[in-house]
Amino acid sequence: MLIYGSIMKAQEDVCGLVDKYGLDTVKNCCEKMIRAGEEAMRREIEKSRTGSIRGKRRSIGMDDTQQTRLVRVKLTVNGMK
């Protein structure tokens, strides 16, 4: 129920922004935030050495069972072109 409540609150907040500023303004703002995040990520990747990084972490499931799951990640950086 906590996640449902959070989603409902976010929906109210976004609807409030749309009412106050208009849909086009809110959409443009979201697009700019996404673009800025992507550009920041690309700058960080450019600083990284070429090669692979591996990681793993246990995560609590988001379903009713709340079972932990092992998440494994392999990131390969070949440089930006």
Please provide the DSSP assignment of 9-47 as one string: HHHHHHHHHHHHH-HHHHHHHHHHHHHHHHHHHHHHHHH
What is the domain partition of the chain in residue ranges? Answer: 2-77
> According to the model, what pLDDT value does residue 35 have?
95
> According to the model, what pLDDT value does residue 62 have?
62
Query: How high is the mean pLDDT in each 10-residue block of the chain (81 residues)?
Result: 80 94 96 94 79 83 72 80 52
pTM of this structure: 0.56
